[in-house]
């Protein structure tokens, strides 16, 4: 892995950075669950781009990237944007590409910018997710009955194989990472994998401790994603451009490097504040209510717990 350390994650221009930053803010805003707040201003327009064969990415609108797999009779949607408006707009755009009914929805994880748009779903459709994703969505749904129809109707654990009208799909969860119920959808026939929020290019990964996400789990899941099916060439995710194997390997290497540096500073007797300062982590603005620990702090705590 050492030789990959020099291969930095490629950023194609500032537009990508700005988009990634905006997406991050969205994900952060929605991190506590399924709040109903809308973002100010209008979201970027929806755009559907073909990735390969019958696999498409749906960018723009409110919320994270979604994904479309067209079938012989129906369409399969992966994730659901953040607002009912964006969700309905997305279904209308999909019809321009594939005028088939929606056959199934798979949720990659429970964050609101991936699931809250389901409030715009006006028909009974099978919604599939990992069991932990269902459990993470439950408290918000119990508080807000309006959300009850967005709950997954079917769950799996560990691994699930699906034949979607001739397209073979493998759903995998490799343990807690971004949340406790992250699903990676492998499409071996197209050499494509769809991960939820396992890649954030241009910034630190987001790990939801309140949903039992973990740094070591995140690392483990990224490596498992590469190892599970070596033939996969394209990795898609909610807040990053399509990536290749080298970019995923570069992300793993940079995270391992960060962990090693923090470990070294801890062995030198440095405090958490020293380490945060060395990484340029700013203290949260005074009076801010919800405090999400920065990645450096999450790594520090997990190294301490491991000892």
Least distance between Zn ion and beta carbon 63 (Å): 10
Is residue 233 within 8 Å of 192, Cβ to Cβ? Answer: yes
Which residue, among 165, 179, 83, 95, has the nearest Cα to 129 in the 3D structure?
179
Least distance between Zn ion and beta carbon 116 (Å): 12
Which residue, among 220, 128, 134, has the nearest Cα to 176 in the 3D structure?
220
Pairing of strands 75-78, 66-70: antiparallel
Least distance between Zn ion and beta carbon 159 (Å): 21
Stretch in the footprint of Zn ion (CB under 5 A) among 120-128, 130-138, 197-205, 210-218: 197-205
Q: Which of residues 243-272 bind Zn ion (CB under 5 A)?
A: none
- Provide the CA 17 distance to its chain's centre, in angstroms: 17
Measured in degrees and rounded to the nearest 5, phi and psi for residue 168 equal: -80, 130
Q: Which is nearer to Zn ion, 255 or 266 (CB)?
A: 255
Least distance between Zn ion and beta carbon 291 (Å): 18
The contact mask relative to Zn ion for 204-243 (x = CB under 5 A, - = no) is ----------------------------------------
Q: How many residues bind to Zn ion according to rule CB under 5 A?
A: 3
Least distance between Zn ion and beta carbon 35 (Å): 14
Residue written as token pair 């971004």: 178
- In DSSP terms, which residues pair with 164 in a beta bridge? 167
Residue 136 in contact with Zn ion, rule: CB under 5 A: no
Least distance between Zn ion and beta carbon 197 (Å): 4
Stretch in the footprint of Zn ion (CB under 5 A) among 5-13, 105-113, 155-163, 274-282: 105-113
Q: Which is nearer to Zn ion, 133 or 155 (CB)?
A: 133
d(CA 272, CA 296): 9
Residue 197 in contact with Zn ion, rule: CB under 5 A: yes
Stretch in the footprint of Zn ion (CB under 5 A) among 18-26, 168-176, 193-201, 248-256: 193-201
Secondary structure in 3-state letters for 239-306: CEEEECHHHHHHHHHHHHHHHHHHHHHHHCCCCHHHHHHHCCCCCCCCCCCCCCCCHHHHHHHHHHHH
**Structure tokens that stand for 179 in this block:** 């949340």
Q: In this structure, how many other beta carbons lie within 10 angstroms of the beta carbon of residue 293?
A: 16
Q: Which is nearer to Zn ion, 27 or 265 (CB)?
A: 27
Q: Which is nearer to Zn ion, 136 or 197 (CB)?
A: 197
Q: Which of 79, 111, 247, 259 binds Zn ion (CB under 5 A)?
A: 111
How many helices and strands, by DSSP H and E, does the chain display? 8, 13
**Structure tokens that stand for 34 in this block:** 């399924």
Least distance between Zn ion and beta carbon 249 (Å): 22
The contact mask relative to Zn ion for 11-30 (x = CB under 5 A, - = no) is ----------------x---
Q: Which is nearer to Zn ion, 27 or 232 (CB)?
A: 27
d(CA 71, CA 65): 20
Least distance between Zn ion and beta carbon 182 (Å): 9
Q: Which is nearer to Zn ion, 239 or 276 (CB)?
A: 239
Which residue, among 98, 118, 99, has the nearest Cα to 107 in the 3D structure?
118
Residues that bind Zn ion (CB under 5 A): 27, 111, 197
């Amino acid at each position: 892995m050492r030789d990959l350390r020099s291969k930095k994650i490629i950023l194609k221009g500032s537009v990508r950075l700005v988009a990634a930053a905006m997406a991050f803010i969205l994900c952060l805003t929605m991190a506590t669950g399924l709040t109903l707040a809308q973002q100010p201003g209008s979201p970027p327009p929806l755009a559907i781009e073909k990735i390969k064969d019958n696999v498409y990415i749906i960018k723009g609108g409110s919320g994270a990237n979604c994904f479309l797999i067209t079938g012989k009779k129906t369409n399969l949607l992966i994730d659901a944007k953040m607002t009912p408006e964006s969700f309905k707009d997305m279904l209308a755009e999909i019809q321009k590409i594939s005028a088939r009914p929606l056959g199934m929805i798979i949720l990659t994880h429970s964050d609101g910018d991936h699931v809250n748009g389901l409030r715009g779903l006006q028909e009974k459709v099978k919604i599939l997710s990992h069991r932990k994703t269902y459990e993470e969505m439950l408290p918000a749904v119990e508080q807000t009955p309006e959300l009850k129809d967005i709950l997954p109707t079917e769950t799996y654990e560990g691994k699930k194989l699906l034949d979607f009208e001739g397209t073979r799909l493998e759903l995998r969860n490799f343990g807690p990472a971004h949340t406790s119920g992250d699903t990676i959808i492998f499409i071996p026939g197209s050499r494509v994998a769809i991960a939820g929020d396992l890649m954030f290019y241009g910034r630190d990964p987001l790990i939801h401790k309140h949903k039992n996400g973990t740094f070591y789990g995140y690392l483990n899941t990224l490596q498992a994603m590469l190892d599970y099916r070596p033939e996969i060439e394209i990795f898609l995710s909610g807040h990053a451009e399509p990536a290749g194997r080298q970019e995923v390997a570069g992300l793993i290497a940079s995270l391992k490097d960060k962990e090693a540096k923090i470990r070294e500073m801890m062995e030198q007797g440095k405090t958490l504040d020293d380490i945060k300062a060395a990484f340029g982590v700013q203290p949260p603005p005074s009076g801010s209510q919800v405090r999400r620990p920065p990645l450096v702090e999450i790594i520090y705590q997990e190294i301490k717990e491991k000892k």
